[in-house]
Structure 1
Amino acid sequence: MKTEIGITDTNRQAVATELAKILADETVLYIKTKNAHWNIEGADFYDKHKFFETQFGQLDEIIDSVAERIRSIGHYAPATLKSYLSLTHLTEATREKNDSQGFIKELLEDHESIIIVLREHIKSFANDFYDLGTSDFVTGLMETHEKMAWFLRSHLKN
């Protein structure tokens, strides 16, 4: 059945394409956060193990909401690792040490990168594609990532 929500097919497709990239970024960040949770070592192991668990839980909810947003505008969400790796602008983790400072710095950089991407989309979704719902949705995602980044950044203060 055709999706009739007041947004042209062309604009819905353009928004879905950008949301698919965001979904890929969120999924790669989720995996990198799981990696930190599983592989953290050091005197602060337990504290950071639990901290990363909280963060990947938040990312799991974000992933689901982005996929559902894609579906709500009438498109299918990508759902393969191959598609995520081709769509993401993030890189996979390549670590020599499994210390908390290294994991936190890397995850913080990814959150900040995602924040910049989301911020750039807020106006274009509203003004170029006439999709205020997705613009509002992406604003909420940006705010969530800002808070998650703050928590990560706070661990780096001496």
Structure 2
Amino acid sequence: MSKDRPAPGDRIKPKKSALVQFTATTLQLEAFVVAFAAVALYGLRDSLYEKGPLELSDPNVIWVVGGVLVVALLVLSRLTAKPVGLAGGTVAQVLVIATGLALPMMYLVAAVFVAMWVAALRLGTRVDRERREYDAAHPETAPNV
């Protein structure tokens, strides 16, 4: 027998959801970017750099707001297996866009992450659906649940 195909009676582990993997990865990457944006905003707080309509010159506000957003993104990345995690991730995209009020370059960065979020939702759902269809058509290689 080939090693590519399982033998009868072998336990086949279920695959992790592509939707969960894609969305969690997007939120985790976004958390790092938000952390670096907080560092940039802290460094630019007293400079002549073109600031957005919301000027944050108090370092405590910068770190608290940035830290809360980073922690929220990381917590949401662990909840993406549940509908509340996906809904929260979508709301988090709006909050990341709002960081552009303090650091205008974040509008561009947030737009990239919104595109990644939408792609993660669409492609993850599609991959999971195609996996289910394949498993239904090939029960001998379907995971034992």
TM, length-normalised to structure 1? 0.42
Query: Per residue, is there more helix in 1 or in 2?
Result: 1
- In our comparison, the structure showing a higher alpha carbon Rg is 2
- Flag the structure with more relative contact order, 1 or 2, with Cα contacts below 8 A and sequence separation at least 6: 2
> Normalising by structure 2, what TM-score?
0.45
